[in-house]
Structure 1
Amino acid sequence: MKIKHAINLHKGLTFIVVLSLMAAYNNFTLAAFIYLALHGGYGILWLLKDRFYPDKQWEQEVPLATGIFTFLVIGLYWIAPFILVSSSLQPSPIVISSAALINLLGIFLHYGSDAQKYYTLKYKTGLITEGFFARSRNPNYLGEILIYLSFAMLTQHWIPFLILGGFVVGIFVPNMLKKDKSLSRYPEFEAYKARSGLLLPKLFPTAQPILQGNE
């Protein structure tokens, strides 16, 4: 199996899982429906992304046991809706609106940068130093962090924040550093690195962007 099969299964089931939790706990409040729309919608968008511009890193063939383990690990993200729905928590309007804003920004960065990367590399290899990647070398990871941060905000519980932190430290950062190491083979990488942030955008670069064209 491919690693993406485990990931896609999780993303695709999220809407069903959250809706099932709402039915099980008879929680059909506004907060629950907003969470369903945000997290469930994110999963649907992920499947559409995989259909139209898939990420090659998820095409890797893995043993079935690895796929099951991957599914169980990312299944930790379902703890957030469980906490929200089972506790009948009602976030304040300011929390809901802030979470929605952060989620929209995350969606924009995550799916927009992945689309730019896919279609740029489809026609030209090399560094991508324009658009979403002009100030941040990993706008897709930044977007994903913001997306899951919005889910954690709605729960107003420390566990989802801890889980997100674990993914950032244990998976996202190592992958970003690995990517930097791979891209360092390009002569222009050091100049690009100097004017861009690993994750957060470097707002005041010391040099102008160069070549178009990332893994």
Structure 2
Amino acid sequence: MKLKQKFFIDSHKGITPFFIFFLIIFYYQWDNIFAIAYLALHGSYGILWISKSLIFPDRQWEKKSSLSYGLLIWLGLSLYWIAPIVIITPYKFEQFILILNPSNFYLLGCIFIYVLGVFLHFGSDMQKYTHLKLNPNTLIKDGFFLKTRNPNYLGELLIYLGFIAISCNWIPFIVLGLFIFAVWIPNMNKKDISLSRYEGFDNYKSTTYKFIPFIY
């Protein structure tokens, strides 16, 4: 049986708010402001992702995949659930704690980073969808793509940094790092190879960064 990759991705993103909500109910964490904030951030991200998939889908996830590969996608994405488990349940993995007793200002910073990420990720995906619909087979060199060739991944980085930082634990950061090096960067490299067939790509590449402006 073949299903589109987005079926597995979207279903996981969609069920995540319910998983977090269940943890909060099961462990009675309604007074835990960090748990509630995490539900708001990761939960809203899931809703936004599904909305994006319906309104301006990414062609990358339209590819068909086998059930076994789809379940592998599901398993990989489930690693992100370590963060809410650390925040909500008694399983704190104390040897990996990053910050003890974080302040509300720390939480404010996490939310701020998340909001910036949402702007970059969904804004750039909308720009890409609109541009390719109106001007197919051309490079996108302005707007969100002016300084980085992958503003959507930069936005996703900020999104995940925003809500996994709430866990104050190294393990979710390690998971994010694994995704960056095992999935994100290889996808960026494939994208560069694909775009290299377009006129002007070499010049565009020389004036932009692959991922993070002024760094990489």
**Normalised by the size of structure 1, how large is the TM-score?**
0.91
Structure 1's unaligned 5+ residue stretches are 204-215
Residues in 2 aligned to 1:92 and 1:9: alpha-carbon distance in whole angstroms: 34
Counterpart amino acid of residue 14 in structure 1: T
**C-alpha contact (below 8 Å) 2:20/2:84 kept by paired residues:** yes
Counterpart amino acid of residue 194 in structure 2: S
Residues in 2 aligned to 1:47 and 1:189: alpha-carbon distance in whole angstroms: 31
**One of 34, 40, 51 as aligned partner of 1:37:** 40
TM superposition shift of 1:202: 4.2
**One of 109, 114, 117 as aligned partner of 2:125:** 114
Residues in 2 aligned to 1:118 and 1:15: alpha-carbon distance in whole angstroms: 26
Residues in 2 aligned to 1:90 and 1:100: alpha-carbon distance in whole angstroms: 17
Residues in 2 aligned to 1:70 and 1:175: alpha-carbon distance in whole angstroms: 15
**One of 190, 193, 199 as aligned partner of 1:187:** 199
Report the 3-state secondary structure (helix = DSSP H, G, I; strand = E; otherwise coil) of the residue aligned with 1:62: strand
Give the number of aligned pairs.
203
**One of 76, 79, 83 as aligned partner of 1:80:** 83
Deviations, residues 106-150 of structure 1 (Å, cap 9, x unaligned): 000000000000011001021000000011000000010111111
For structure 1, which segment, 81-90 or 137-146, has the greater mean C-alpha deviation from structure 2 after superposition?
A: 81-90
Q: State the match for 2:107 in structure 1.
A: 96
Report the 3-state secondary structure (helix = DSSP H, G, I; strand = E; otherwise coil) of the residue aligned with 1:176: helix
TM superposition shift of 1:32: 1.0
Residues in 2 aligned to 1:186 and 1:61: alpha-carbon distance in whole angstroms: 26
Residues in 1 aligned to 2:125 and 2:173: alpha-carbon distance in whole angstroms: 24
Q: State the match for 1:208 in structure 2.
A: none
TM superposition shift of 1:201: 2.0
Q: State the match for 1:169 in structure 2.
A: 181
TM superposition shift of 1:31: 1.2
The answer on 1:152 being equivalent to 2:152 is no
Residues in 2 aligned to 1:90 and 1:114: alpha-carbon distance in whole angstroms: 36
**C-alpha contact (below 8 Å) 2:111/2:163 kept by paired residues:** no
TM superposition shift of 1:85: 0.7
Counterpart amino acid of residue 76 in structure 1: L
TM superposition shift of 1:95: 1.4
Counterpart amino acid of residue 198 in structure 1: K
TM superposition shift of 1:187: 2.5
Report the 3-state secondary structure (helix = DSSP H, G, I; strand = E; otherwise coil) of the residue aligned with 2:64: coil
Report the 3-state secondary structure (helix = DSSP H, G, I; strand = E; otherwise coil) of the residue aligned with 1:103: helix
Q: State the match for 1:69 in structure 2.
A: 72
State the Cα RMSD in Å: 1.4
Q: State the match for 1:23 in structure 2.
A: 25
TM superposition shift of 1:93: 1.2
**Normalised by the size of structure 2, how large is the TM-score?**
0.91
For structure 1, which segment, 165-174 or 180-189, has the greater mean C-alpha deviation from structure 2 after superposition?
A: 180-189
Residues in 2 aligned to 1:65 and 1:200: alpha-carbon distance in whole angstroms: 33
Instruction: List 4+ stretches of structure 1 deviating above 6 A.
Output: none
TM superposition shift of 1:175: 0.4
The percentage of aligned residue pairs carrying the same residue is 46
